[in-house]
Amino acid sequence: MKGPGLFSMLQIVAGMSMAGPMYVLGFQMVMNGNAPGGLAFFALGLVAMFAPTYLVRKIGGPRTWIRRRLGRTGSGSDGEERFDPLKDR
């Protein structure tokens, strides 16, 4: 059984570290009677929790960054070129 890799775990930790304080603040605001403000912080926490994963998937992972630095395009094992979202730019 293959579990999440180190990079996936770092993404989760980064998201939780940004979202955790927002959740606590949102909970406190809801408990003190400021429901709209608390719900806004819950929503911001939800966005912050998934932002690192979204950015990494959008711009590529560490292998993609290294390939760009070295100037390689990277091709698949079957000779087909891999999809690169930044290639058309």
Residue range 24-44: mean pLDDT, rounded: 94
Considering Cα of 77, then 78, then 84, then 88, what sign does the dihedral take? Answer: positive
Q: Which of 35-39, 57-61, 80-84 has the lowest mean pLDDT?
A: 80-84
Residues whose CB is less than 8 angstroms from the CB of residue 49 and which lie 6 or more positions away in sequence, other chains included: 15, 16, 18, 19
Residues facing residue 81 across a β-bridge: 75
Token pair for 20: 């955790």
**What pLDDT, on a 0 to 100 scale, did the predictor assign at position 31?**
95
Q: Which of 28-37, 47-56, 60-69, 76-85 has the lowest mean pLDDT?
A: 76-85
Whether 15 and 48 have beta carbons less than 8 Å apart is answered as yes
Whether 52 and 14 have beta carbons less than 8 Å apart is answered as yes
Residue range 41-46: mean pLDDT, rounded: 93
